[in-house]
Structures are given as structure tokens and as C-alpha cells.
Chains A and B, each alone.
Chain A
Amino acid sequence: MSDIAKSTPKISDNGAFGVSGTGDTSGYGGLVLKGVQVGSSERPFGSYFDEVVDDLERAYPSFSDAIEKVVVDRGELTLHVKSSRLLEVSLILRDELKFEMCMGVSGAHYPSETGRELHALYPLLSLTRNQRIRLEVSVPESNPHIPSLVEIWAANNWQERETYDMFGIIFDNHPGLTRIMMPDDWPGHPQRKDYPLGGIPVEYKGATIPPPNERRSYR
């Protein structure tokens, strides 16, 4: 983690601009945030989701070992896959279940989920079935390694570089895992929740202006 990120309090603990609590500006909302993760779903999943899960179970014998949970929420199917099994599952999804396209990968950072802080989300699309599913992989911040899917879906090349750049997830065996948006020598991974918004001092004509999160308090 960068020095910048270390020196400032975790935004996830304090809210935007150092606000403590819920960010409920009125004070009457009584909002308590309990995290984002939705629990595992029970059969029948509804829609085409039963069919997809059935097909995957048939094509992939160690389904129960590799898939941590199946979540159906908001009309979307999410398969939580162990990162060690991601390559196998992906290959079967592409070749047997005809999910030919991976629409990229995006990261998410949940500092409150100890041991599974960093998540990678892969939306898959099947042109043959005209269906979508999502794969979700979670890894600890201390050892953020996920196998690269570039060999399976070449489209993930830049997408994985972006996720590495923004979240610091290391995609093993990626052909060239370098930063893509930020400069090559940039410290830290900006989209992590403990990375402050605009935490970089601005220097203009010799005068240094503190980063926005330190300029004024919104408390």
C-alpha cells in the first residue's frame, strides 16, 4: 500500500470527506450499513438460472467444491468462484455452456470483509443462449492473486490491467500486467476505499494546495 493511503484515515471507516457515521446529513435516517453481500440463494432460482446452474453442474463434476455460493438477486445470477478454480470453471463456461464473451472485469473493495476484501466481477455473455451471468471472485488484500483469464477471453487483457491499476489485484500469468490509466510510477491503487479522493497535493507556481479531503472538514 502507498504512503499516501497509509497516512490518511480509512474513508470506509469515516465516510466521505471524513464524515463519521452513515453520511446521513439529516441525522434522522437511522441508517446502519451492514455491508453489501447478499446471502446465497435457494432453488428454484427462477428465469433461466436453474438451467445454467444445472448445465454447469453436469459439465463440471467438482461444482460444489469450486462454487462457494450461487446468488440470484435483481434478476441476475452471480456465481461466487474460488480463485484457485476460476480457470477451470471459465473454460467450461466458455466451451461447454457457450458463454463466448466476457465483457471484462471490474473490481470492488470491501474493507469490512476480512480475508476477502478485494472482489473481481466478470460479467459473461452468451451469444448462443442470449443469456448473461456474472462470476465473482474474492481474494484477501494481503495476497491479492487471481489467475488471469486472458488465455480464455482475450478481451480481458486491458480490463485486467485496469483492475490491477485501480485495485491492485494481481492477475497471475497476464501477458503484461502494467498500469493502464495511471502513470507507470503512480503510488497506490486509487479505487480502493482507503485511498482518499484526490489525495494528491496540488502544486501551482510554488504554492502547495492540500488535497481536497484535507482542505475543509465536512463534519
Chain B
Amino acid sequence: MRELRQHGLAHLVLIVGIALLLFPLYMAFVGSTHDAATIGRGRLPLTPGSHMAENYIQAWNYGTGERVAGTPVRIMMANSLAMALAIAVGKIVVSVLAAYAVVFFRFPGRMFFFWLIFLTLMLPLEVRIIPSYKVASDLRLLNTFAGLTLPLLVSATGTLLFRQVFLTVPRELLDAAKIDGAGPLRVLFSVILPLSRPSIAALFVILFVYGWNQYLWPLLITTDPRMNTIVIGIVKMLGTSEAMMDWNLVMATTVMALAVPVVVVLLLQRWLVKGLVEAEK
């Protein structure tokens, strides 16, 4: 009986928690299915309306309504997708290579490089905004895809994670491969990478979400609306966020912007959890 009551309490707490998490998302969806006038009057119903298709089509194709100027969602989606993929793939490649060198080779300066990589942990973009912007501007990287992604390709987290993974590879396996005549690159591709596949998958989820969600750097680097990522695009649409604007379009854009990383996280949930919990070890 006590057991039952406690389970009842647990269900209640979880349902209330989940409801609080879901409520803003649900209302954004509701907002995306009504017309701008209904929302502008401040009388948004709690149930979806009948304008869903037209709102999404307009946001997808034009992004601009009567009282809001935006970039078509299809362009911003493509930008965000390209950025997220470039960051996720690029970061994994860069981290794997560096970790491989640091773990399996002995060379002068190895510890120096290791500490240099470690140092990046302590220098998040937000604390070096202005000089980083200046470097990108001096290198003529403003409003370019390279400028958007290149500085985000490096992080200590990825390299440290792969270092941990590589350290657990049994020495005998490597020696056997060497006896079979495999060189360092062959060992990397035929032994190390296949063994690291779970960590690569896990890191991919984390980095894809990280890339998709970038905010400050794209805000600085891209001023051309056609370069807008979707997160930046939505905040720009909001502007001063007045009552009379096409909230229906803003919310349709928001729902589409959320859908991609949320679906990735839900589908690859197992890898995400594994990756997060392992990356911090």
C-alpha cells in the first residue's frame, strides 16, 4: 500500500515536470496554427487553429509576412544544417587526428601540444569575443561559411574524449597489427577507428546539437540575411517583439527550427546519454 502511494507520488511529480517542460513547446505549436490577428489580439486559444498549412508554407518559402521581415526557412535550414554537419564532422576529424598523435607517438613538443589543446577549455568564445571577431575580420572571413565554422572546429572536449578512448585500446592489438606490417595510418583506419565507433556516434549527436544551436559566433560573423542560421533568424525576426507582428510565422519558424535537433536527440538518445556521461570523465 505504501509502495503504491509512493509510486503515485512519483507519477504525479514526473507528469507535472513534463507538463512544465512541454507547455511552452505546445503553445508555440498552437501559435503556429492561428492567424496573426488572433494572436495579436492577445486571445490565443489553448487548442490548435486552422491556419497551420498556410503559416508553415509561407515561413518555409518566404519567411516574410506583412509585419515581419525574415529569411525563408528553407534557406536558414540549409545554412544551419550545413553549419551543424561541418562542425560535427570537422570537429570529430580534427580531434581524432590530434588525439591519435598525442596517445600513440612520442615526439618533441608532445606535452606542449597537449597543454595547448587543454588550454582551449578555458577560453570559451564569449570571453574573447572582440579579438576573435577582429581576427576573423582581418582574415576576410566575415559572411563566409569558413568564417562561420572554422573557429568552432576545435575543442578540448573532443580530443580529451578520444584520448580516453584510445588509451583503453589493448596494446596487444596494436602490436599484432604492427607485426602484420600495418603502418600508423593503416592502424588508425583499420583498428582504432572501428573500435571508437560508439564514441564517434555519441560525440556526433552532441556536436550536431552544439553546431545547430550556435548563437554568438554566427551573430558576429554573418550580417548578410542569406547567411542567417535559423536560430539567429528567429531572434532577428523578433526584433523588438511587439504585439502586432506576424507571431504565427515566427512560431512556425520556431517549431521547424526546434524539430531538427529535437528529433536527432530523440532518435539517438542512447548515444547522447552515453556520450555526455563519458565525455566528462
Q: Do A and B come from one complex?
A: no
